[in-house]
Amino acid sequence: MQVDAPTQLNTLRFDNRFVGGLPADPEGENYRRQVPKACFSRVDPTQVPAPRLVAHSHEMAAELGISETEVASDDFVQVFAGNRLIEGMDPFAMCYGGHQFGNWAGQLGDGRAINLGEIVNAEGRRWMLQLKGAGPTPYSRTADGLAVLRSSVREFLCSEAMHHLGVPTTRALSLVMTGNAVVRDMFYDGHPKEEPGAIVCRVSPSFTRFGNFQIHASRGELDVLRKLVDHTIRTDFPELGNPTPDTIVEMYGEVVRRTAVMIVDWMRVGFVHGVMNTDNMSILGLTIDYGPYGWLEDYNPDWTPNTTDAGGRRYRYGHQPQIAQWNLMMLGNAFAPLLEDVAPLQQALDGFSKSCEEGWNTALARKLGFESFRRATDEELKTDLLALLPQVETDMTIFFRKLANIEKATANDADDADLLAPMIDAYYQPENLTDEYRTRFHQWMRRYLARLGEDETPDKVRRERMNAVNPRYVLRNWVAQLAIDKAEEGDFALVNELLELLRHPYDEQPGKEEYAQKRPEWARHRAGCSMLSCSS
């Protein structure tokens, strides 16, 4: 593709280390194929007829050094729709493989993601720009390389929301409608439909996945594997020093640690990724590839939003730590051929359960407002609460938010009914609470109040601390769907309103309470709210 010059965006400084330092696919034609012995293929985005900017992230634009004037320019929408390249961009798709639903799937790769290049911003931070939905690549297999508006709205809003929730994640710069119609059979049941096409510009220090290493290990391409590992250590883990067998193990240990942090954060905010295949796991421990993800509404550890996974529920909320560990084991297997002694890899992996458990205990202690997790008392309080919550439909987000309002002083003289009353909003069917449930709840609450009494923290301070880890606003599935419905009618106001709302997920934000409400009945069985598929 021709580079159009000059454009206002030309001040962006690119430093394309991935394409500069790693083996390239020698084939220049863009057709679907197996790509051996290469980490990427150069490929241009497909031209789109009528790009229109739906929304952009102000923070991400500022981080990249793109001014609001530039965002408003025609250049911006053309560049981030894939119609124009700016100087320094060198577009490419990555080669990776992966285990899908537990089975090795061979080559997958960026089938509809095209990396534009790596920016180094004014502060020296490195950001890869990537268009998702910008047309076919050599890795598109049988699919079209495109993305529809509904899934693009979901990715754009959720990745920014996760960032503001304090969950490690890839980011999003822009959401553009392309003017193309894209055909999707949403539930793979013989009902294809035209939907508006869209492109999200995702941004991350790196988009390298576990699967990038796995593909070369599986093909026995040890020289390519070594180059990719060395590149990753130098670029993504520079603090580890020069690549050696020891630094490979250290990097692996760091991936294990970061993945545990990410998983604990998912559990803390009630996020279910939905497709934790090894190609959807970031080497930096970032949440990546927002597809059929969802937020727990009623707390149910067995829930997954992904209908494609309805049978085995492999990727259900409560199973995410085990799956992450399994995925990490697969990553360890990919590094193993580079090491003479694999025992240190196993040791590093063994640290996962401990990191996860300790992280979750700390997170739960914070969610409950304790100064720290005290095993003697808190283990049982935790277990009993997590067994109590799924007994009846209890909104996880509302429950923890309401819990912050409890006052320690209620401890001794309160009636049973007074203990439940402050929490009543958290229940989907408060009128159906049985006496047995109430008794269990009262017992738990009295123990909780007694435990709060053991800490010195005054109510007000505790409330503030709890409200800093228990969000008031998450991207509830039904709220996202409202924004999608509007956007499909050409009205982008709600997408932008939610983007703004979710910049401050822990704040009350008077006037916005409707977005913090329990799932309304209309959304219970509606596609997109309680059911999603991989079709996007």
- Residues forming the active site: 279
Residue 110 binds what, of Mg ion, ligand AMP, none (CB under 5 to 8 Å, by partner type)?
ligand AMP
Q: Are 93 and 32 in contact (CB under 8 A)?
A: no
Task: Enumerate residues 6+ apart whose C-beta is below 8 A from 243.
Answer: 229, 230, 233, 234
DSSP assigned state of 46 = P
The number of residues that bind Mg ion (CB under 5 A) is: 2
Q: Are 46 and 136 in contact (CB under 8 A)?
A: yes
* CA–CA gap between residue 444 and residue 434 (Å, rounded): 15
Residues paired with 182 in a beta bridge:
195
DSSP assigned state of 14 = B
* CA–CA gap between residue 444 and residue 406 (Å, rounded): 13
Residue 146 binds what, of Mg ion, ligand AMP, none (CB under 5 to 8 Å, by partner type)?
ligand AMP
* CA–CA gap between residue 472 and residue 80 (Å, rounded): 32
Nearest distance, CB of residue 108 and ligand AMP, angstroms: 3
Nearest distance, CB of residue 97 and ligand AMP, angstroms: 9
Binding mask 223-262 for Mg ion (x = CB under 5 A): ----------------------------------------
| Between 143 and 409, CB nearer to ligand AMP | 143
Residue 329 binds what, of ligand AMP, Mg ion, none (CB under 5 to 8 Å, by partner type)?
none
| Between 168 and 291, CB nearer to Mg ion | 291
Binding mask 270-299 for Mg ion (x = CB under 5 A): ----------x--------x----------
Nearest distance, CB of residue 31 and ligand AMP, angstroms: 13
Nearest-5° Cα angle at 180, 4 to 67: 45
Q: Are 263 and 168 in contact (CB under 8 A)?
A: no
Binding site for ligand AMP (CB under 6 A): 108-112, 139-140, 143-146, 275, 279-280, 289, 291, 534
Residue 109 binds what, of Mg ion, ligand AMP, none (CB under 5 to 8 Å, by partner type)?
ligand AMP
Nearest distance, CB of residue 117 and ligand AMP, angstroms: 19
Nearest distance, CB of residue 222 and ligand AMP, angstroms: 23
Beta strands in 108-235 (DSSP E): 113-120, 126-132, 171-184, 193-204
Q: Are 85 and 4 in contact (CB under 8 A)?
A: yes
Lateral strand order in the sheet of 193-204: 40-42, 92-94, 113-120, 126-132, 193-204, 171-184, 52-56
* CA–CA gap between residue 182 and residue 149 (Å, rounded): 9
Residue 111 binds what, of Mg ion, ligand AMP, none (CB under 5 to 8 Å, by partner type)?
ligand AMP
Nearest distance, CB of residue 101 and ligand AMP, angstroms: 10
Contact between 155 and Mg ion by CB under 5 A: the answer reads no
Sign of the alpha-carbon torsion through 40, 42, 48, 54: positive
Comparing every residue's Cβ against ligand AMP, the nearest one is 111
| Between 155 and 298, CB nearer to ligand AMP | 155
Nearest distance, CB of residue 513 and ligand AMP, angstroms: 34
| Between 111 and 422, CB nearer to Mg ion | 111
| Between 170 and 247, CB nearer to ligand AMP | 170
Residue 536, Cβ neighbours under 10 Å: how many? 23
Residue 112 binds what, of ligand AMP, Mg ion, none (CB under 5 to 8 Å, by partner type)?
ligand AMP
* CA–CA gap between residue 236 and residue 231 (Å, rounded): 8
| Between 149 and 249, CB nearer to ligand AMP | 149
| Between 6 and 192, CB nearer to ligand AMP | 192
- Binding residues for Mg ion, rule: CB under 5 A, are 280, 289
